[in-house]
Structure 1
Amino acid sequence: MAVHFILLCFLFLGTSASFASTTSLATNATADGSPARQSSGSGGGGNVTTFSFSGFHPDLRGTNLTVVGDASINQGALQITPDTGNNAANFLVNKSGRILYSDPFRLWRAESTGGKKVASFHAVFTVNVYRFNGTEPAEGFAFLIAPSADAPPAGSYGGFLGLTNAATDGNGGNQIVAVELDTEKQPYDQDDNHVGLNVNSVVSVANASLTPLGIEISPIGSAKYNLWIDYDGAARRIAVYMADVSQPKPASPVLDSDLDLGATVAEKSYFGFAASTGIKYQLNCVLAWNMTVENIPWDEPGKSKSSLVLGLAVGVPVAVFVLAVAAALGYFLCVVKRRKVDRDEGGSGSVITGTMIRSLAGGPREFDYRELRKATSNFDERMKLGQGGYGVVYRGVVVEDHNNPAAAGTTVEVAVKKFSRASTQGQNDFLSELSIINRLRHKHLVRLVGWSHDDGELLLVYEYMPNGSLDQHLFSSASGSRQREPLGWELRYSIVQGVASALHYLHDQYDQRVVHRDLKASNIMLDAAFTARLGDFGLARAIETDKTSYMEEVAGGVHGTVGYIAPECFHTEKATRESDVYAFGAVILETVCGRRPRCDIDGFHFLVDWVWRLHRDGRALEAVDPSLDGAFDEDDAERLLMLGLACSHPTPAERPKAQAISQILLRAMPTPHVPPFKPSFVWPAIDGGFDTMSTTAGTTSSQVSTVMTSSSAGSGNFMRGSQSHAPPAPEQDTSGSLV
């Protein structure tokens, strides 16, 4: 009876909440195709919903994306028309497809005054229109607002772009609006290379040729473009901007026109893409997609306030009472169940985990939980050093190991990492980190002091690093943390050398190969002498010496922080020594430049792209941190910058090994040759399959249908928020960090 009552309580609460809360779906936005959608704000029309795809995985079909007609998700992209590697006669001609976001959005609302409230939205997406072997381009591609997620109408191939057909074109009942990229001149078109605004028809109400701007939608070879579509619901006006993927958003739109969505589209409409082929064909791809849409509530502001007040007056007390009863019963049942498990199994998970830790050879010191609680002033917020996805780290003072007579009675400062997930997964993380770092011995690694596991509380104790982390010194003013003395050039070079030495130890000198998987500035600690110590082994994994990589078998996905993640990881979901080297390259560049790997500078969104452009122009030294006021060694700065770029090579096999990196930093080896243009990231990897002639041109092969070229240090694609209107956070962390 009690269980039934609890279920009814939660059903009641869930039903009540569904009326009062703003719809919110939040997932990690990673470049392997995971989407992110979330709503912000409450109440009136000022709140927005955003979603973002920095890449596309086939598993998104039927979940977050509706794929209809001849469209597909392949090679990390939305292929709105079929792959040009198919047989033309059977698969490519006279095709049309659509891919739409699965959930509709309310785009307007009729007001009591007789007018309409119309939503504003902002869209940015990356397109790659590719024609195979220099064939003539056709037909075109469109960003679409549609009343349903249905397949394109029959006969919508050729010049109809998957939007309409001969019978329906121009019909107001279509309720569609599209921004087209047209690559085939029809009698009603001005040319075969223009952007147009279509309302219920493929005959544009406004258009603009792209040829005078030097933009060719479908050139011979491969080109990628970013398109920004800004719609002002209050002004009833749409603006379209377009630029090469390496360029920032232009100051002026390529197309600017009046558009009243309230008079054209369905109240609830879908956003997506449509495209078609005729007797000529091309591959129309979307590589990334980010949107922000204004939320329009169903009720006008101020309407039915009395009903709302009455509902709250009655509903809130009832809900609170029911929740209290449910919580009490739930607590009772949990206690009973836990006691039963303890009786049946003769102990708890804490006992099992503690036994496993004590069995480790040369195990670290075991602390009593009460001792660590006292050492951190009961885990006082004022003692907190930092936190991440794996836990919170506190500063503490403990008595030295009583097994050491020489240190009897003395105290030592420590950093206590308290795991935030006292669960099965939390225990796995705890044991994994402990088992790896327990046996690691190197002067450039943070030393593990001890552990505690009592009643489900998981704690690791590390030596305290009084000078914090590298990023706190590089970015203290930007992060709002307490001001620290800027690092001088010699210290920066020494820190990079120390981290390289630690990486060489993990990769080559330890009895197992260890991949760190989360190498970044916030995980590089500095002791009292500013010696670099690599820390946070929460993601680290040991791999056998005859293996090359570690794959996350349980959770899957990409772990790490945007800007440090190697582009191939978004496709393989594997960590390798090469992916660690890529992250180290990002650390080198941010240490030399005093900028985060993910930053906006001179039209670039990633530090590595900016440095590579300076290298191409023979101006690499201009990237050195200006706060140094020129006080640096130019030869060493050139060495570090070139090494950072070499480690950031999009092709894993081209990156230097950790042993060679250490030799280069000791000035015993020359730096690797770095091409003047950043090579393209090609996936699947092909020997010699990278282009050293252009930072943005794709590389084609008869064996690869869609080419993913790297334009960033984070993903090889378009990262979440990189083109958004709000400034992005300095880092997007999918793991957490240990301070």
Structure 2
Amino acid sequence: MLLHMVTLLLLLAAAASGNGVQFTYNGFAGVNLTLDGAAIMPNGLLMLTNGTIQTKGQAFHPSPLPFRGEAYGTGAARSFSTTFVFAIFGQYADLSSHGMAFFVSASRELLSTAMPGQFLGLLNVTDGGNRSDRIFAVELDTLFNAEFRDINSNHVGVDVDSLVSLGSADAGYYDDGTGTFRNLSLISRKAMQVWVDYDGGATEVAVTVAPLGMARPKKPLLKTDVDLSGVAQSTMFVGFSSATALSALVLVLGIGAYMFVRRLVKYSELREDWEDAFGPHRFSYKELYHATKGFSDKNLLGSGGFGSVYRGNLRKPEMEVAVKRVSHESRQGMKEFVAELASIGRLRHQNLVPLLGYCRRKGELLLVYDYMPNGSLDKYLYDGSSGTLDWRQRFHVIRGVASGLLYLHEDWEQVVIHRDVKASNVLLDSEKNGRLGDFGLARLYDHGADAQTTHVVGTMGYLAPELGHTGKATPSTDVFAFGAFLLEITCGRRPIQQNERNNRIVLVDWVIEQWRKGSIIGAVDTSKWV
């Protein structure tokens, strides 16, 4: 008896907040999957049907997974991704029964009443199109059914509460090199891989198909606008379904090899309705994660009390970025804070590092900047690993930062207070121009208005004395920090450091002491005089 078999590798990532649980199945032997209909698991191989005509079979992950929650905003369905590999073997190379489907369902009971044949074990003749069904599926259909408006007998479709697909396309893929569409036969007995991605923010499903072993094509096979908010419940069942029809030519559908189910904690984000206005400035955590190779230590540019900064390479648009991870502020005031970040993203000056956007995640905020290839100024002043700067270059950096501050304080449409001017926040571009960066602490207010900030932030050694009394950051407090920055470059000393007796020496105080002693020239950095 020749089997009609689907061999499958599944990676399901369902977005979730909180602590994640990872489920990994290396084969199905000993795995507690939930089976229904004709599905069996002989010798670690999951078989969905047993060769009998007009049968159906389903396999579920044993517990439902989260698909919606408070962290994603009211009524929003979470993003998720799935990839699986399949190969269909039939008794005849050019004939097949009905195909199979990946599904996300609110109820196992619904599937228990589903019909075989053209219904794929998902729905029945009475409930197609019923919004209460709450089922999403991606079908790999190998027969033409006019009642469901199929486009042909070899297609991929996106279904919501109905087997009339919201979007469908001929099975195949787009060649990355030429852009040419390449047909694939779903019943060719050749292994193929399918990627399914739902973007909860864009409310869009993308499906991509390619022969096994080929890298994922850049262009999806189809994209369909789908808002799963009306489908997704707080938890949903995930699995696969297939069915046989009246014809006995084709006997058995099976799913085998490997199955991986993971809650998508590593891609989860905090996203709320009010952020829609700042869409162009919002990056997905997934794209930043891949850009930095999972925030790999090899991509780490620097770290400290301020957070960690990683080098990244975005795919769309193709560019190098620096991604800073900092502790997430409280929810109170976050809307105003993000609005300010979006405004700062409109700053354009040759001596400022452009803030490209942000991403919010539970416990942290990620800020995305243009990548500066020569790194931060402090590395040139202290550790020598990046080389040295002569006095002409130092003066050039000082003038550039002063020009950038003037733009922030007086020349832009609002007053921007940086609140953290220091050498480690001055980046050098490819020509070693000084650019003031890191606007994570910056605040804005209208020209002629009074600064309202009352929370003292910044770095010790750069804080103006009046901040301790008023708590208000102003252009003057930025100028004080700039003065400490000038001393830092000129003296080649950190703003605060320990002496041989382990006493704390404040650079500003030390320079004043040298001036009073009449030895101010001795404060100049002669060790790095180039």
TM-score category, normalised to shorter length:
0.3 to 0.5
TM-score (norm 2): 0.47
Q: Looking at both structures, which has the greater relative contact order when contacts are Cα pairs under 8 Å and sequence separation is at least 6? A: 2
